[in-house]
Chain A
């Protein structure tokens, strides 16, 4: 059997050649599909709480910090655009030298997001908005809202922290021209980053923008 025939029969084991680009993307999308179900359960819990205690959820949401929440949304959307540009640079020989810098910028925006989130948590802790004894609000369901708020935002922040580590590794490896950080793997890392951004896109109106007008 010659090499071409072997490659046709075993396309993913073709004598050390690059696997098709789609393989990695597919793997990350399967992971993202499982993550959709992971975060999805919490969104269902949110829908249940909000439909049963609309007043408590409205009162509680008005106590979140909408300025910092909006600022953080802008930071994360910007980071997604930056990493999308980094992927484009990695695939374009003329602009490849920008890839590492843009990846570092993405990771830095992620760190800024987590710092702002920490400032919010600190403020909410001092305002007795953390569920438990001495909780500040009295409306039924308000405590449930803040329980969901802390669980969902903390899980999101954990995912983002993992993303920051991953993107920083790729930024470093791209700068050092390591062989394990080719453009197709940067693309896969970016897919994860965008997914974490999409989760926040839905958290923003559901946590910060309930009944702001009243």
Chain B
């Protein structure tokens, strides 16, 4: 990296850092608005944008080789697949909580020995 390239890259990093801080504050601000499910969507969407900045610019995924990018995508896709399959189970299973019971000692099932 020559001096001119370095300066351009450093300027990009500065802008990315400022963008990350602005996004963090907007995430914080959105949490104080009453948006219903929109609060969750805003929080996760902003986190996704922030992670994309970190992955593409800081981790240089945008300039990495196809193999490296493939590994990153496979990691995320595998997680989404496993999370989705787990969700199929948990989202369709009805929850039937049992009443809380204090633990207690049950009588032994072994035949009692005759005292000699």
Contacts and interface: CB of A to CB of B under 8 A. Distances in A.
Interface stretch (A72-80, A111-119, A124-132, A146-154): A72-80
A212 to B, nearest CB: 4
A47 B51 CA distance: 19
B34 interface: yes
Contacts of B87: 44, 47
A108 interface: no
A37 B47 contact: no
Interface stretch (A4-12, A166-174, A194-202): A194-202
B9 to A, nearest CB: 5
A201 B45 CA distance: 11
Given A47-B87, A80-B54, A85 B74 contact: no
Contact of B28 (A66, A80, A201, A202): A66
A88 interface: yes
What range describes how many residues of A lie at the interface?
35 or more
Contacts of B62: none
A40 B24 contact: no
B24 A26 contact: no
A26 B78 contact: no
A136 interface: no
B43 A88 contact: no
Interface of A: 22, 25-26, 29-30, 32-34, 36-37, 40, 43-44, 47-48, 51-52, 66, 70, 73-74, 77-78, 80-81, 83-85, 88-89, 91-92, 94-95, 190-191, 194-195, 197-198, 201-202, 204-206, 208-214
